[in-house]
Copies of this chain bind each other. A is one copy, B any other.
């Protein structure tokens, strides 16, 4: 199961499944939450940051569509269920501490609910203020209505 071909024996870490360890997550009524980063698999752009609980992670793995946990709505958030802007998951990565998840995705439409390709559309300027530096892809009212 290890991709040993690329690893000198000396550097092999001891066996550890290293699937996401939700026991390390943020305490929440719905269970523990781990950070999840969605990155465009082609452009490499970081599109959004969200949270997953065990159930969201399991559904993402099972369906190949990104499912997060919405803290504000208090329920699973099947990305795109309202907007149609879903995320096809091409690959998932787990970090060294097994407490952060990276999703390499194919984004339909705009990842950001404000209509931008990425939620990170504001750049911090040298004076510490921030400015919108990207263009909107879609008008959020046309996607989410009023």
Q: How far is the CB of A43 from chain B (nearest CB, A)?
A: 8
Number of copies: 2
Main secondary structure of the interface of A (DSSP, over half): loop
Asked if B46 and A11 sit within 8 Å, CB to CB, the answer is: no
A75 in contact (CB, < 8 A):
no
A1 in contact (CB, < 8 A):
yes
Asked if A135 and B7 sit within 8 Å, CB to CB, the answer is: yes
Q: A11-B139, A13-B132, A136-B11 are in contact. Are A93 and B115 (CB under 8 A)?
A: no
Q: What is the size category of the interface that chain A forms with chain B?
A: 35 or more
A 67-105 binary contact with B (CB < 8 Å = 1; else 0): 000000000000000000000000111111110101000
Q: Which residues of B contact A114 (CB under 8 A)?
A: 13, 96
Asked if A46 and B46 sit within 8 Å, CB to CB, the answer is: yes
Q: How far is the CB of A22 from chain B (nearest CB, A)?
A: 13
